[in-house]
Structure 1
């Protein structure tokens, strides 16, 4: 192992080039030793120097060093290696390159040399470093768009060994916050393709959240964990809740895009289908090959003659129309039939029906000053099963603050002074289309004087 030199008094910066070089990165009135993270990093100097020895230089050199170290560490038949054994095992490397790599690994305490037996041994620190690298490489092979697998595995392993650190929890918390912001940006963008890509990534993140819930419960219930660990675990729990609550935001954004989708005539194709087809082609310009040709250019007429003929035709048309009839007679505007989507019409009728419920006398009289309440099935029925299901899907928008700030029918629905209260019970109904429905209620909102809030 690399020994750390210590003295009784602080070293003089003028006599310590390394300390002087580190201080050069800080402001004159700030001492590097006063920073807490600098202290922790200095304590880990032997381990950091091992990583420096492995990863310093170009990628090719790093690859060869890791190759040699992994080949030696993977041999479990013997704990020591003679130089002929190493030459045989790594015969595909040039002798000069192998000698250089062995010298570097030996100098930086990744390989230990036993002069009495003339053998090499892989040091425990080297095995720890290789284990961390192999775990990271293994996670990189799996499909993990959320990039949470390795962080969560580190927290789970440390928890099983009873040594989870606040830093590991902070890394996981930081990744959860990054994902929440990324998904919020995708929702705010209004792009259907970005929304669907982020929603798929959100589902993967939720799978990791479910796997990590038990770990967090174990951390929060551990009496031996300190206050900082408990606080970090609770913060992760809140971040996970925020992440899980984004399902409704994804659904509303995609429903809004679905209502605004433009269809091309009666073909059934939409702009989304065309964009998806265009994204399958790497070279869009190649689609125009053979489809666009040069127009016919008449070579027998000069531009001046064309202007003269066009002017004569224009003036003759104007003179004929002025002499023949003067102003045209008035005509009634043609009658048109709105081709609006039936779902929008159904939403408008449902909104008018709910607004009618808020009129005076529609709700039953309140008892002891309580807010007037009716059962949900009284407002949803009578209707077919499809219409009743659609109306029921719109009930959660009542009182939604985010939706109330928007324009349109859904915004008007969210601003109604009615509160929706669901429950887990079912109620049997004497209806031809709907046999049973969840027991829920609609409550009319009142101001302190007992009047409706919208009057």
Structure 2
């Protein structure tokens, strides 16, 4: 079987030099030829080449091998096959042979062995791609040769993980969600390592715009993955709420499903033998009540007419809403009239007890709160008073209200004591008595 040439693979009239995507691959032909040498042929041939190349590169103290040493080291291989492998590796630049007829890895061969060894080192990981890509990015960052392509590979892997996790949550399967959660936990350390690498990369003030743009997108993808664990927990909580326990056995539906998943297909087929019918039983499809409902619809003309009637119901007038009852402000208006007389010329101020009392404790408490409102309005001016209405008229009364810290005894009208104070026209109340400030130097020695 002849190998196809590159110009035969491309479309008619297209030259390899006209495809920009091929340029970096064509420049790396020696490296690609080395990997083609390793992975060309059957699986057994590939394993044999990798085995020989890795074992030759494993010897670090004496990296050069003589023919007898190779035959002794690979005594478990067929000598003819071993010679064929050595000739193929040497012919494609993966092995070198010196003047002393000793074999050693070439630079290209050592790079290939190192790359394959790194991949094999991550083979035991749940997600070897993320660990490999993060490690590769960390090395490139340390050497200062990070490329947008390497960042793009990491971004693609993170987005693929996010899609996988979201798909597991959308499935509603407890087992898929649990598997996805374990996968997230296995990749947490690589996500954290990637975050450290990105911080180091973005801390460089000379980083290019393209690298910074892809790095920021990677940061967003990592934040998206960090929030997935909470979504896993919410989904598992919903499944837990819907879990069914089989009687008093303590065995739940999840336990049964897990047990079934662990069984062999033949065992499951044996369990289903004699249990599943080739056709469903009619009693399982419809019971007596369902059959009666369908029979009534079929046999009754009235039921069929109701079923077929699609006319809209007659319209009805919307119910009228009763107007809200007006607020009862009669007590406020009456109290405003009483206070208005205090603003007349020549009228003396009155005490709070005389104005507030009357009608029991609720009415007196209401009047006292109105006087407190009037005192606040006098202190802040009339700008806060409503424009219209009884409340606005009350707050604009030309009165001063003064509350004392002392209390006076009333003893009537459900009031025992209340605050002392006066209410009068503007400027008619005496000025509050100032509290003298004593000088400590003026006191006798025993009082100082």
Structure-2-length-normalised TM-score: 0.56
Aligned to 1:41, which of 5, 17, 25? Answer: 25
Which of 119, 122, 131 aligns to 1:139? It is 122
Question: What is the aligned partner in structure 2 of residue 150 from structure 1?
Answer: 132
How many Å apart are 1:284 and its aligned residue? 1.8
Structure 1: distance between partners of 2:78 and 2:249 = 67
Counterpart mapping for 1:396-407 below 5 A: none
Offset, 1:146 = 6.9
Q: Which residue in the other structure is 2:6 paired with?
A: 22
Q: Does 1:81 align with 2:28?
A: no
Aligned-residue Cα RMSD (Å) equals: 2.7
Aligned equivalent of 1:274? 256
Q: Which runs of 5+ in 1 are unaligned?
A: 1-16, 293-455
Deviations 1:58-99 (A, max 9, x none): 011111111221222122232433323323332332221121
Q: What's the secondary structure of 2:96's corresponding residue?
A: strand
1:46 match: secondary structure: helix
Distance 1:69 1:268, change over 3 A: closer
Matched residues in 2 for 1:106 and 1:146: separation? 31
- Determine if contact 2:119/2:128 at 8 Å carries over to the other structure: no
Find the counterpart in structure 2 of residue 235 from structure 1.
Answer: 217
Note the C-alpha offset of 1:256.
2.1
Q: Residue 226 of structure 1 corresponds to which residue in structure 2?
A: 208
How many angstroms apart in 2 are the aligned matches of 1:113 and 1:265? Answer: 76
- 1:41-120 map, 5 Å: 41-114=25-98, 116-120=99-103
Deviation, structure 1 residue 44: 0.7
- 1:116-136 CA-partner distances (Å, limit 9, x unpaired): 433332111111110110111
Contact 1:146 1:202 in 2 (8 A): no
Between the aligned partners of 2:128 and 2:162, the Cα distance in structure 1 is 11
CA distance in 2, matches of 1:220, 1:242: 19
Q: CA deviation at 1:244?
A: 1.1
SS at match of 1:140: coil
Pick aligned residue for 1:128 from 111, 131, 134: 111
2:236 maps to 1:264: no
Larger Rg: 2
Match of 1:437 in 2: none
Task: Check 1:124–1:260 CA distance in 2 against 1; reply closer, same or farther (3 A cut).
Answer: same
* Shift of residue 251, structure 1, vs aligned partner: 2.5
TM-score w.r.t. length of structure 1: 0.56
Give the Å deviation of 1:30.
4.4
Give how far 1:29 is off: 5.6
Q: How far did residue 153 of structure 1 move?
A: 1.1
What secondary structure sits across from 2:123 in the alignment? Answer: helix
**Alignment partners' CA distance in 1, 2:155 and 2:29:** 26
User: Which residue matches 2:417?
Assistant: none
SS of 1:24's equivalent in the other structure is: helix
